[in-house]
C-alpha cells in the first residue's frame, strides 16, 4: 500500500532545526501525528536530547528516557507515535545521504515511518522543492534533503513521497532578495 507523508509546518521546523543544531553529528527524534490508509500526517517532531551515544555516523538513544517520552505523548496530545526521524550529516568528504543504513532498517517497526535528513555544506543556495519523493532546499549554508520510509506489515520498507506545502512556500514568504 502506498503511503504519502505530509509534514506540518511544526514538524518541518522541528526536523530541520534539530538537524542543523547538531550538524556534524546525527540527531534523533520521535514523530507524532495521525495515520490513515493513504497518508501519514506528521504534526510534531520531538527531538530526543538525552541520547546515549551521538557520533558522525550514528545515534543510539537512551531507551529508558525514550520510553518515558513515549509514555507521556498520549497524556499530552491525542496523537499517535508514528516513528522516528534522524539525520545523516556530511563528515569530511563523505556527503550525508537519505538512504537507510542497515541499522536504520533493523530498528524500524512495522507500520512505522522513518524520516532521514541528509545535511551537507551547501555550495550554492537553492529553493525548497518537492522533487521525486524527497523534499530539498538550503538554509543558512546547509543543503538539506528529507526522505521518508514506511515499513509495511509484511516487513517490506518502501520509500514514501514527502509533502510539505509550508516548506515549498517558505522561500516565497521568507527569502531575502
In the chain, the number of structural domains is 1
Closest among 102, 123, 104, 120 to 112, alpha carbons compared:
104
User: Residue 74: which CATH number?
Assistant: 3.40.140.10
Instruction: Report yes or no on 15 lying in a domain.
Output: yes
Residues 6 or more apart whose Cβ sits within 8 Å of residue 171 = 127, 128, 137
Instruction: Report yes or no on 144 lying in a domain.
Output: yes
- Residue 173: pLDDT above 60? no
- Residue 107: pLDDT above 50? yes
Count of Cβ atoms closer than 10 Å to residue 6 Cβ: 19
Question: Per-residue confidence at 20, pLDDT binned at 50, 70, 90?
Answer: very high
151 or 51, which is more confident?
A: 151
Count of Cβ atoms closer than 10 Å to residue 51 Cβ: 18
Domain span at residue 69 reads 4-164
Question: Using one digit for the tens of pLDDT, what is the confidence trace for 119-130?
Answer: 999 999 999 999
Instruction: Report yes or no on 170 lying in a domain.
Output: no
- Residue 60 corresponds to which cell in the numbers above? 543510539
Instruction: Report yes or no on 123 lying in a domain.
Output: yes
Instruction: Report yes or no on 175 lying in a domain.
Output: no
Instruction: Report yes or no on 171 lying in a domain.
Output: no
Instruction: Report yes or no on 172 lying in a domain.
Output: no
Report DSSP state, residue 122.
Answer: -
Question: Using one digit for the tens of pLDDT, what is the confidence trace for 31-71?
Answer: 999 998 889 999 999 888 665 455 556 666 666 666 666 66
Considering the chain, what percentage of its residues have pLDDT values greater than 70? 78
Question: Using one digit for the tens of pLDDT, what is the confidence trace for 3-16?
Answer: 899 999 999 999 99
Instruction: Report yes or no on 169 lying in a domain.
Output: no
Amino acid at each position: 500500500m502506498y503511503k504519502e507523508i505530509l509534514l506540518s509546518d511544526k514538524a518541518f521546523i522541528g526536523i530541520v532545526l534539530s538537524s542543523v543544531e547538531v550538524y556534524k553529528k546525527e540527531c534523533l527524534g520521535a514523530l507524532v501525528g495521525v495515520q490513515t490508509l493513504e497518508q501519514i500526517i506528521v504534526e510534531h517532531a520531538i527531538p530526543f536530547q538525552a541520547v546515549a551515544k551521538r557520533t558522525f555516523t550514528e545515534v543510539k538513544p537512551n531507551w529508558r528516557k525514550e520510553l518515558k517520552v513515549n509514555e507521556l505523548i498520549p497524556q499530552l496530545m491525542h496523537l499517535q507515535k508514528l516513528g522516528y526521524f534522524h539525520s545523516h550529516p556530511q563528515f569530511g568528504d563523505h556527503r550525508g545521504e537519505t538512504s537507510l543504513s542497515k541499522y536504520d532498517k533493523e530498528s524500524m517497526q512495522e507500520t512505522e515511518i522513518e524520516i532521514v535528513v541528509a545535511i551537507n555544506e551547501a555550495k550554492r543556495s537553492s529553493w525548497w522543492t518537492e522533487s521525486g519523493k524527497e523534499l530539498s532546499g538550503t538554509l543558512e549554508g546547509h543543503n538539506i534533503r528529507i526522505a521518508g520510509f514506511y515499513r509495511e506489515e509484511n516487513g517490506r520498507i518502501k520509500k514514501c513521497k514527502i509533502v510539505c506545502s509550508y516548506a515549498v512556500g517558505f522561500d516565497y514568504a521568507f527569502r531575502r532578495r
